[in-house]
Amino acid sequence: MSLYIADTNSPEAAERMKEMPLPVLITSLGELEFTNAVELRLFRGEIKASQARATRAAFRADMHGGIFCVQVLSEAIFREAIRLALGWTARLGARSLDVIHVASAIALQADAFHTFDYRQRHLAIAAGLAVA
């Protein structure tokens, strides 16, 4: 989201993107969370409908242009998420969607995990991922 609508994380997100090999893997959950985040900003009055449409269009263009590659959430990802939940949620307070994001990175053998979310970051580190 920080790549498409300016926020406090936008400068760092832009710097990270400059260094990442393409395509950047995201899951269908990541695509949903992006879409929902745009709609929440619209609901909160932080952006106008025209900006929401333009943001969604820019993201779709980047997906079609090979910047992002959407991976489907597989059964293996959910099995990994259950394993992570059993191992870490009671200690770190991870939310289900964060667990699924981290499990996806593990199952897809991601080179690095990028997040601005505090709990998600700590879970990814605990799970042994390289976190940017």
* Alpha-carbon distances, residue 20 vs 13, 23, 87, 129 (angstroms): 11, 8, 30, 16
Residue (of 76, 68, 132) closest to 104 by Cα position: 76
Question: Mean pLDDT for the chain?
Answer: 96
E-strand spans in 2-132? 24-27, 68-71
What per-residue confidence (pLDDT) applies to 132?
84
> Is the confidence at residue 120, as pLDDT, over 90?
yes
What residue spans define the domains of the chain? 1-6+25-71, 73-132
What per-residue confidence (pLDDT) applies to 25?
94
pLDDT tens-place string over residues 14-48: 999 999 999 999 999 999 999 999 999 999 999 99
Whole-angstrom Cα distance, residue 123 to residue 88? 7
Whole-angstrom Cα distance, residue 8 to residue 72? 30
Prior bond of 21 cis (ω within 30°): no
What per-residue confidence (pLDDT) applies to 63?
96
